[in-house]
Amino acid sequence: MDPALHEKVMAEAERIKAWGEAAERHARDEVNQPTINNWLEAMGLSNPRFEKGGAGEAPPSMAQVWTMYGLGGKPSQDDPLHAMMRALTDAGFTAVLGTNCEQSYERYLRVGEQLRVTTALDSVVGPKATGMGVGYFVTSRNTWYVGDERVATMLFRVLKFIPRAAS
């Protein structure tokens, strides 16, 4: 790999990492029972704690649901993950493969709470030669809050790569 390209990619990663928790997005809706019901049905889960008439709580693993962009949503220009992905695309790393996601939950969310999420670029590691091609592992860190209280976190890692030529 061209050392100048690697230096350019890593310089952009450092520039974006310096933004810290730059992107902040507020949930479109409060935590609500109809969305919890739909999520439980989609996941094939049944738990009286989360169903109507239960404790008025949402499953912890729904944290991301409340702040997703939706079908027509677009990330802001200050979103660190998407900024790094654009930089890699512009450098020729056009393919993406999800690798892993690590979530932690501080507490259950309650119906009526309004969430917000911040995103930071955690790390960019590479170049790495993989079976898919040469690329960079990009890790972002999302933190969900209710008011100033941290309620959940997620490390999300993808491989952004140049596809290996078909043999």
Question: Does residue 54 lie within any of the structural domains?
Answer: no
* CB neighbourhood size of 166 (10 A): 4
Q: What is residue 158's predicted lDDT score, i.e. its pLDDT?
A: 96
Beta bridge partners of 101: 156
Q: What is residue 166's predicted lDDT score, i.e. its pLDDT?
A: 58
Query: What digits encode the pLDDT tens for the residues 30-88?
Result: 999 999 999 999 999 999 999 887 889 999 889 999 999 888 888 888 899 999 999 99
Number of domain units in the chain: 1
Do residues 102 and 155 touch, judged by C-beta distance below 8 A? yes
Q: What is residue 167's predicted lDDT score, i.e. its pLDDT?
A: 47
Query: What digits encode the pLDDT tens for the residues 116-166?
Result: 999 999 999 999 999 999 999 999 999 999 999 999 999 999 999 999 875
160 vs 167: CA distance, rounded Å: 21
Question: Does residue 124 lie within any of the structural domains?
Answer: yes
Helix pair angle (3-17, 80-90), 10° resolution = 170
Q: Domain range holding 134?
A: 3-30+65-163
Question: Does residue 14 lie within any of the structural domains?
Answer: yes
The CATH code of the domain that includes 7 is: 3.10.129.10
Query: pTM, whole model, 2 decimals?
Result: 0.89
43 vs 127: CA distance, rounded Å: 36
